[in-house]
Structure 1
């Protein structure tokens, strides 16, 4: 009996999340109602409220799930020093590709700006913990450098997502890493 209830809970949460994301792709969170989410999901409002306090809570839970999953995904890989930044960037882009619609929606103008900040924190934490380069400079410089690299990379990734991911994750990883390592001189060496 418990397995059946667990499956039902998972299904309910899944359709509520999917319905919410579809609505968020079309309009801002402030103009979405619980009623709309429930109608799209074909779920009663009382059932919605047994899982979430409101649609902002639902968004929070979706973002928590993604950031936790992304952290686990990135931490499941180990790289040699020579390949670490390229490989980590590629793995991140592969993850985004597999969850394309979710990232397109959460990083678009209707999404929650704090989600982008959460992604930055995950990437910065991973970089500062795992990359030898960041352990060789002062803590303050390391923090500024990681902020510079990660914010630039996230904005490039957003452009890539908006451009319907015309390049492969590997091509984008190479480009982002060249930008991070060589900046404007990358274009001179092309």
Structure 2
């Protein structure tokens, strides 16, 4: 007998939501399958139909966010005059801030930032090389620097109670991108 795909998707989402509720306040090594299934209202065998363990839940959640990043129209991420204009990334970040704030925060997965950069860097690099950028260590390090800065500033912004508007933040990022950090500070 084949299961209803809508019910299956909802069951998996309920388990993910229960995990997420726990992960927001508890380190992953302290989360148990029993807690997840109790919170979601299922038994352990249901959990194992979708996940192997709590780390698999986190991995699947992170992979779904990475997939959404890879769906972004990368051409919007790199306008010809400003290769690090990231309005599309900010929009995606805003839509999924519930997850990204925690995953990129102090109690999140330390490897997640690396996963984001590893998924985005080749796509942005390809566009920049197609536009005439020289492929070499300078481009690689510049992309690493820029992506680290963007992810860091977005994480910082989302965790501020009285942060600037998104428009002001984008304005600052554009200035930093065009003027350079040290010139902006001087």
- Shorter-chain TM-score category? 0.7 to 0.9
* Contact residue 77 and residue 88 of structure 2 kept, 8 A: no
Which residue pairs with 1:180 in the alignment?
177
Partner SS for 1:113: coil
Q: CA deviation at 1:142?
A: 0.7
In 1, distance between residues paired with 2:102 and 2:32?
A: 17
The CA RMSD measured in Å over matched residues stands at: 2.5
SS class of match (1:163): coil
Q: TM-score, normalised by structure 1?
A: 0.85
Determine the structure 1 residue equivalent to 2:87. Answer: 90
The answer (yes or no) to whether the contact 2:16–2:57 under 8 Å persists in 1 is yes
CA 146–111 in structure 1, closer or farther in 2 if over 3 Å, else same = same
Deviates more, 1:168-177 or 1:108-117: 168-177
Partner of 2:64: 65
Q: Which residue of 2 aligns with 1:109?
A: 106
Give the stretch that moved more between structures: 122-131 or 24-33: 122-131
Q: Which runs of 5+ in 1 are unaligned?
A: none
Q: Quick check: 1:19–1:40 contact (8 Å CA) kept in 2? A: yes
| Residue segments in structure 2 that go unaligned for 5+ positions in a row | none
Counterpart of 1:153?
150
User: What's the TM-score once normalised by structure 2's chain length?
Assistant: 0.87
CA distance in structure 2 between the partners assigned to 1:78 and 1:134 by the alignment: 13
Structure 2 CA distance for aligned equivalents of residues 56 and 162 of structure 1: 25
Provide Cα deviations, 1:133-171, integer angstroms capped at 9, x if missing partner: 984234111111111111122111111121148334343
Cα offset, 1:69, TM superposition: 1.3
Q: How many residues align?
A: 185
Partner of residue 100, structure 1: 97
Task: State which of 117, 122, 129 in structure 1 corresponds to 2:119.
Answer: 122
1:38 Cα deviation from its structure 2 partner: 0.9
